[in-house]
Amino acid sequence: MKKTLVFIHGWSVTNLNTYGELPERLQLEAAANGVEIDIQHIFLSRYISFHDEVGLDDIAKGLDSAIKEQLRGIQSFVCITHSTGGPVVRHWWSYFYDNSPTKISHLIMLAPANFGSALAQLGKAKLSRIKSFFDGVEPGQRVLNWLELGSKSSWELNKKWILSDGHQIGEQGIFPFVLTGQTIDRKLYDHLNSYTGELGSDGVVRTAAANLNSRYIQLKQNAIKNKNNEVKISSTLDIIEYKESPEVPLRIITGKSHSGSEKGIMNSVRKSRDPKSKEIITSIFKCINVDSIEKYNELKEQFKLETNTVQKNELIETAPEFLFFHTHFIHDRFSQVIFRITDSEGYPITDFDLLLTAGQNNNPNDFPPGFVADRQQNSINKEIITYYFNYDLIVGAPKNEFRQKTEGITQIGLKIIPRPQEGFVRFVTCEIKANEDLLQKTIQPNSTTLIDIVLQRVVSKGVFQINNITQFPKDFDFSKTKWEEKGIIE
């Protein structure tokens, strides 16, 4: 049976050149890989994402309409996406089908920005100048907001995915896959923005942000009653919920960056069977040929081994004459952790300090130097902050020709100092002491962890009082009432 292929491009693409010659190459090599496709059955989709008023909800509705109208006679198809195309299809799948079966049989995501991109916070004008992402196009603001690390919409989509039971994967559902690179095309490096050369990324999307294999943790501060029946706020955080996502095959492709005609994971593919693109073509066909959950699980394990080999082979990069001198880069593995701080009533807490601790002494100074590669607070949802950790430095990295052996840690903890800490409504500092379990649950290579931190909203009994009117003069101004500790409302 012939396979129908539908390609969905990334953000702010204004023409179909973004696909390069990938469709023709797949059609050319299909028979040799046991797949029957026809060039007439390849659809190159296009959507408008460079207008400010257009958001992912709108694009998802457009996708649904296009599938119903333009693919009416097709029972199922293989969907290949690039960059923002991955979140677009995932949003459509979640929004319209609640992750139930659709016409899509296989969702093959190339360099998907599933958890966003660190570049998105730079703003429209700056992003339009970055060759590796937008190539002179000023991106649309609503799509840009979704792509910013820790956006509310991406948090909700990814949390829903993590908390699902995996029933949506299989013959009666969709087989999802993630293929991405970790190579920086130095010719596209933007000297005014180091994110385009960020290690652990393809120059636009971090491997940890592309990977769907992720986890969710909820930490909660409790209110307790003492022996005098008084409400007290705990100074500790407890793990209330922990859930790992359904597992999806992840394959890091050798020598591929996000975009560009020389190294781009999609745009650099040539139909002339060039050896540089053999790995991505072979990997795509391996995905297409999965037709059972058994084969899907086998490919997961195979991709793990191949990804491990690629990351070992690409550990040391030599960039001749980069920035005018001979440069070496160590491509460690990285981990992304997104924290959201809210109170017990669900309100966001935007004024806080988050302090990471390590080791038996629960000491923030016990981390290895350079373990935090980046930290970014969401510009709209300021209760959400994203940390980007060097995983290999945290767990300990062996000696190589450019670095001595580093000693890692085995325990991690955190402390939250929220504000205000006095007044009619306030918060109390709390922590979870460094321990091995939290480290294992939180920090994993090439992946993202969502951590919900819920603090008790402390409301003073002084916020509302009934008093004898004779106690105050008639002209008493209650707006000048000062806060006094009168106990805590349960």
Examine residue 420 and say whether the peptide bond preceding it is cis (omega within 30 degrees of 0).
yes
pLDDT at 424: 83
pLDDT at 11: 47
Tokens of 51: 């207008």
**What confidence tens digit (pLDDT) does each residue in 173-222 have?**
999 999 999 998 877 655 556 778 899 999 999 999 999 999 999 999 99
Q: Do 4 and 40 form a contact (C-beta atoms < 8 A)?
A: no
Amino acid at the residue 73: G
pLDDT at 211: 98
pLDDT at 136: 45
pLDDT at 15: 46
pTM of the model: 0.92
Cα 385-391-392 angle, rounded to 5 deg: 155
pLDDT at 191: 55
Rounded distance, CA 415 to CA 82, Å? 38
Q: What are phi and psi of 430, to 5 degrees?
A: -150, 170
pLDDT at 67: 86
Q: What are phi and psi of 399, to 5 degrees?
A: -70, 140
pLDDT at 224: 82
Amino acid at the residue 171: E
**What confidence tens digit (pLDDT) does each residue in 56-83 have?**
888 888 888 888 888 888 889 999 999 8
Classified by CATH at the fold level, domain 5-213+248-322 comes out as: Rossmann fold (3.40.50)
Tokens of 249: 């095959």
Distance of CA 22 to the CA centre of its chain: 26
pLDDT at 52: 74
Task: Write the CB contacts of 83 (distance below 8 Å, at least 6 apart in sequence).
Answer: 9, 10, 11, 110, 111, 112, 113, 204, 205, 258, 259
pLDDT at 397: 92
Secondary-structure class of domain 233-240+333-460 per CATH: mainly beta
Tokens of 391: 């995983």
**Domains 5-213+248-322 and 233-240+333-460 in one fold:** no
Q: Which residues of the chain have pLDDT under 70?
A: 9-18, 38-50, 123-139, 188-193, 320-326, 462-472, 474-490
Handedness of CA 377, 147, 124, 319 (dihedral sign): positive
Task: Write the CB contacts of 21 (distance below 8 Å, at least 6 apart in sequence).
Answer: 269, 270, 271
DSSP letter string, 80-130: EEETTHHHHHHHHHHHHHTT---SEEEEEEES--TT-BGGGGG-HHHHTT-
**Residue-range domain boundaries for the chain:** 5-213+248-322, 233-240+333-460
